Each structure stands twice: as structure tokens, then as C-alpha cells.
Structure 1
């Protein structure tokens, strides 16, 4: 196999953490529907035989010092020279970061495991690896859906806490600029989100807007972290839903009936963990929905379309061989560049590709963005295609 991903573990490896990282990593790979055979695990023992700078690589470096020397420093120097992405981990406060990693990676953004539960630490590490391989969007987006008169305090608290954990969070009172069309922007931000955090309170379904938010999340197959208040029940009909049931003790002073009630930090950390864990599954579900719809249209139009093991669609139409890449949310110029680079590398041994397309769902994407994508199509070699127009395109 010529093209594969390399997951590298170096440094003072925590052998309590390592097997769990591998297990969760491959669980997420399975959820994304990618063959495990495309991944190699590399450490100092097999680095010389297995590693190549020709394929994507991501290194997790466990920081520590032994006799005033850093472990695997020579290999780290090689990886930095090859522009490999690295995630340094330390089990101390980040203020001590430089004491635990080689000088050459002291400018890298590291992750402190201090104060994190093992589960949350693993989710963060795995998410970083998947993002580095472009298997998850590097921009993490979450949408908080709530009833203002029930849970404004927790909604604002979650907005701030998820932001601190590197999510781009949408909250209706904080995220829409003045003069923007409120409802159009709200729906677009939801469709471009990875996960919806739904605050399931007594009166959540009494609002027309929250009902629509739940309906649109289900329609778009967006995963829901359903945070259920004490004494209330799970909202039924919420697809791809992970349920986190709150107890009175999860709230500061056990006060959960107050609109301005706040959660304690342990509960907030668990919600972040749920949100991290659900990302891969919801993105995979949305990708699968795009793929199945495209394959259905191709079959109806008698066009040859084959799903590759990389989850790209190989298309033969009018004597041309093209690749169709399903994208989640709004495609951007960077998606086009990354797709072209990756695909040309994967298919270089199979001969010339005529065209590359990025497939996306245009529902609830604002006209201003659709016009922008049409403008990009005039100038970029990689073109975008709306799923709503695929039937007509394939039939012509």
C-alpha cells in the first residue's frame, strides 16, 4: 500500500495511556468508515524501517527528561525537518513546558494533561490526530440549543467553557453580528457545526424556534449532546444523540430551577468530553448521507460511480475520470487546495485524473456563500457541486 497514515508515539511513553489512545483512535477510524489498513503505528523501535516522509504523519510526544537528555531527540529533529505535525504532551502545568520537551519543539502548542480526566485527555489527543490527518475538520464547531427562559446561565457557561477547549461555539445571544439576518445566519451556523449541545429543560419544546432547531439538526444528521435537567426526561426523536443526565448535585448549590443556574466544573468537563467523542460519529453520518444520495443519483443516471476505501467517489462520465469528495458544512478555498493535494498524491500511480469536485449540501447555506462558491468555481481547478443539483448534472 503506497499511501497510508503514520501515527507516531515517542518520548517517555505513558504505557497506561497509550493502549487507550490507540483503542479510541481506531474506534473513531471505524466510525469514519475508513479501513484500518491505511494506518501504521510507529515508535522508536520501528521508526527506521517504517517511517517515510512521503506520507502523512502525526507524532505524539510524551514529554519528560532523563539524565538531562530528552528521549528520541534525534528522531524529533528528523520529524521537524520533514514538517511533520507534532503534539507534545506534559503532565505538568504548561508554564513548565520547556523543561519537558526538546528545544526544537518548544514553540509548538502542547497539551497539558494536568487536571484532565483520562477520558477527556484521550479524546483531545485523538481529535488532534484525526484533525492532523484531515480526517476531521480542524475547525471545531458546536451549536448550543436552549430555551432562554429556562437555561440561559448554563448556556452562557457552556459557550465560554467550550470556547476555552478550542471549539468555535454558536450561541444566539453572542454569535451573530448586528445587521446580519438573524435566522438565516443561525441556520447556516447550525449546518456548519459538528455537534449540537441541546439543553433539555422543562419548556424546551414549547418554543417554535427550539423545535425547529431540533428538527433541522435531525434533518442534517448532526449529532446531539443532550444535556437533561434533573426531574425531566430525554427528548425523544433526537437522532445521533448522546444523553448526559444531570443531577441536582451537578449544579452549584444544587440550584437547577433558576434560569441563571450554573454547573460545576466536573460536569462541564464531562459535557466537553461527550462533545469531543461525538464529533467523528456525526461527521461520518453526514458524509455517508451525502455519499448515499450521490450514489443513488448516479445509479438512476446509469453513470459509473465507485466508492473508494478513502471514502472518495470515483466517477466515470463522458469518457472522463473524476473524483468527488464529500464535504461537511460549507466548502472553502482551503478545502479545494487540500483535496487536490491529497487526491493527486493518492491517485498518482493510477494515471491522470480529469477533474476533482467537492460535494456539499446547500440546505440553509446563505446566498452570499453560494455566490462566493460559484465565484471560486470560475478560478479554481477544483470545483464545488451542490447535492441538490447532482441529479441534473449526472443526467446531462
Structure 2
């Protein structure tokens, strides 16, 4: 591989260090990326193995006895602008050195394992830094749980869509709902007994399956999943019991016990990487099929991007973009351009424009016409036209 993402481990040599590294490797597998994509560098090897011109992220493992290690390396990385995530166990003030007092930290627990892993993947632009979740539910049956999960997910820095909280007055309701679903990472679906009796709830389920968006499906007690519920291969059902509800109340005002809320948060974090890989694969496969039909030779790189070398010596990088392309997508494209070693290259952020609102599509077209010439967006409905060009 031409480059590696560098994960630097600092601080105490605790068992959690290897647990996190192993979980990162699991998530790389879920993303269908090679394990060697991330190079793990202990502080003791920093002089020999660390490369300042390649992406880096560091984990600092605290010490409950305040016996802080690797402070010189930590200060060097901070001066280099490397992001460092402190991990503590009892209290931040006691477990983490003062040199990291201004860094956001995470208290380690098994429930936080996926969250820590995803922070690393987000830092390396392997997962979107925008963490978007869509809650699908039937108001008459599960409003209490929906609001509870909305608040819990928001507290974990997710951008959560809930129809009663997320659509501004004056916006076309259904257009905005489909738009926000298209741009989410995971759907939390509250599958109550009457969920599929609602026309719009049934539409939301079908739309999620068509878009291959990962669904964390919470199935109410004494309610069996029907065949239509199983139609999405990226649906992850959790069968609930009455004990998962506070005071066993199952009506629209009922709420989950805290342990169930924690389980949902953990599952949402876990599903993100698997969902991203499925949607990327779908977009890449469709683009390659159309390219092959038009006798254009595109190559899939280990980094999950496509490259094309034109007869005139020009190079094009196609980057599959999940959801709606943002300015951060362009920043990520710049990183990939540099790491691929290309000097003269144009970049196309390819994306599925189905259900994205017209005002956003017009905005993206305006950006294409008025800003950078080397990075542009390319929507799925224009794949054929673009690839037909000589």
C-alpha cells in the first residue's frame, strides 16, 4: 500500500489497549478494508516508524495511580497538531495528565468500545464525521420511547431526525423526511404491532431497504416480525420484552429502562460501519457496471475509491459519497488525492441523488459551476452521460 493511517498508542500499557486495537480491526473488516490499512505505532517506536506526512491519530491510556508515561511524545504530537483521545477509568482529573486537560476524553467501558473505535475511524475519514440517525416510529404507539432515544442519541453527539422535533415550520414535510432519511447512517425503527398498518411507516421501511440503509429494528413484546420486516438484509432486529420497559408500560407514553437505552446506543454505533460498506459497495458496483458498458476502465483501489487513467495522461479519482456531499467530503477528497500520490488529477464525488431535495441538487450544481474545477460532484442519474464521454 502507498500509505497507512497511523494509530499511535500512548500512556499505560493496560489490557484495554489491545481490546480497542482488536475492535478497530473488526471494524476495518466490516468496512471491507485491509487490516494493514491502519499501522499501530507504540510510543517506543515513534522515532523509527512515525511519518509526519501521513494521517495520524493517538490514543492516550490514563493511569488510575497518576503514573503518567510518554509525556514527551504526547507534547510533540500536540505541537504537530495530531488529535489525541484520552481514555480514563475513574476520573479524568486523576487519570489523565494536565497536558491533555483541554482534550475531549472518553471514560472506558464495554458499552463505549464501539464509540471509541468509531472516533478513530472518523478521524481517519473512514467513517463520516457527521453521525446521523433517523428514528422511524408510529406516534400512536411509541412516542415516549422515540423521544427518549432522540434525547439519548443527541447526548452522544448524533444528529437525530425525529419528525416532531426536526422539521421546521413551512418545510414540505414528506420531501424533508425522505431527504433526511437519505442522508442518515442508521435508522432506528420502532416496530410496534401497528407499525406496518400505517401507510407512511410502511413507506419508510421500504425506502430504507431500497436505499440499503442499516436498520436497528426494535420489535415490541408479543409482536412477531413479518416477512416484509425481513426484506432488508441490513436489518438488525432486537426482540424486546416487557422487562425492557420502565414499569412494563408498552403504550405511547412508555419508556425504556436505562440498560435498554445503552444497548440501543451500542448497536447504533456498531451498525454504522457495516451500513457504510454496504452502501459504498452498491454505489461502486453500479458505477463500474455503467463504466464497463461504456468501455471505460476504472479500477477499485483498496481504499474503496475508483481510479481511471485516461489516454491523454489525465487521472480521475471517483470517491463514493454516502448521503449528501458536504464541504467535509471535499476535504476528505483532498486527503485521498495527496495520499494517492497524484499531482494532476480531477476528483468526482459520486453519490445517489434519489430522494435528495431539488434545492440541494441545485446547490450542488451551482457549486460545480462556480467553485473548484478539480473537485466536483457527480450524481447517479448522470453516471451514464458522464461515462459516455470520449
**Interval containing the TM-score (normalised by the shorter chain):** over 0.9
1:249 aligns with 2:243: yes
Query: Are 1:266 and 2:259 matched, yes or no?
Result: yes
Q: Is the 8 A contact 2:6 2:38 kept in 1?
A: yes
Deviation at 1:274, TM superposition (A): 0.5
Paired position in structure 2 for 1:336: 330
Once residues 81 and 365 of structure 2 are traced to their aligned partners in structure 1, the CA distance between those partners, rounded to angstroms, is 34
Partner of 1:356: 347
Q: Measure the CA separation in 2 of the matches of 1:178 and 1:306.
A: 46
Could you report, residue by residue, the CA deviation over 1:240-265 in whole angstroms, capped at 9, with x for unpaired residues?
Answer: 01111111111111122x11111000
- 1:345 deviates by 1.7
Q: Bigger shift: 240-249 or 287-296?
A: 240-249
Tell me the equivalent position of 1:284: 277
Structure-2 change in CA distance of 1:352 and 1:345 (3 Å) = closer
- Cα distance in 2 for residues equivalent to 1:388 and 1:317: 22
Match of 1:45 in 2: 44
SS of the aligned residue for 2:350 comes to strand
Quick one: which of 237, 246, 255 aligns to 2:231? Answer: 237
Residue 391 (str. 1) matches residue 389 (str. 2): no
What is the aligned counterpart of 1:109 among 58, 79, 104?
A: 104
SS at match of 1:199: strand
- Say whether residues 1:208 and 2:207 are aligned partners: no
CA offsets 1:282-321 (integer angstroms, 9 cap, x no match): 0111011110000001000001111111111112346332
Quote how far apart the aligned CAs of 1:168 are: 0.7
In structure 1, C-alpha distance between the alignment counterparts of 2:178 and 2:31, rounded to whole Å: 25
Contact kept, 8 Å, 1:252 with 1:262, in 2: the verdict is yes
Match of 1:79 in 2: 77
Q: Aligned partners of 1:4 and 1:49: how far apart in 2?
A: 15
RMSD: 1.5
Residue among 356, 362, 365 paired with 1:365: 356
Distance 1:210 1:55 in 2: 46
Task: Tell me the CA shift for residue 353 of structure 1.
Answer: 3.1
Residues 1-396 of structure 1 mapped to structure 2, 5 A cutoff: 1-15=1-15, 17-64=16-63, 66=65, 69-92=67-90, 96-113=91-108, 116=109, 118=110, 120-234=111-225, 235-256=229-250, 258-317=251-310, 319=312, 320-340=314-334, 342-348=335-341, 351-378=342-369, 379-380=371-372, 381-396=374-389
Alignment CA distance shift 1:304-1:268 (3 Å): same
Determine if contact 1:325/1:358 at 8 Å carries over to the other structure: yes
The 8 Å contact of residues 322 and 353 in structure 1, kept in 2 or not, is answered as no
Task: Show structure 2 runs of 5+ residues with no match.
Answer: none
State whether residues 17 and 61 of structure 2, in contact with CA within 8 Å, keep that contact through their aligned partners in structure 1. Answer: no
Q: Distance in 1 between matches of 2:262 and 2:256?
A: 10
Q: 1:296 & 1:302 partners in 2: Cα distance?
A: 10
Whole-angstrom distance in 2 between the partners of 1:87 and 1:23: 17
| Contact 2:140 2:252 (8 Å CA) reproduced | yes
Contact persistence 1:244–1:271 (CA under 8 A): no
Partners of 1:311 and 1:298 lie apart in 2 by: 16
CA distance in 1, matches of 2:167, 2:101: 37
> 2:380 and 2:33 mapped to 1: Cα distance?
22
Q: Following TM superposition, by how much is the alpha carbon of 1:46 offset from its aligned partner in structure 2, in angstroms?
A: 2.1
Q: How many residues align?
A: 383
- 1:280 shift after superposition: 0.2
**CA distance in 1: counterparts of 2:319 and 2:9, whole angstroms:** 30
1:47-91 CA distance string (max 9 Å, x none)? 22211221111111112265x652111110111011111111111
- TM-score, length basis structure 1: 0.93
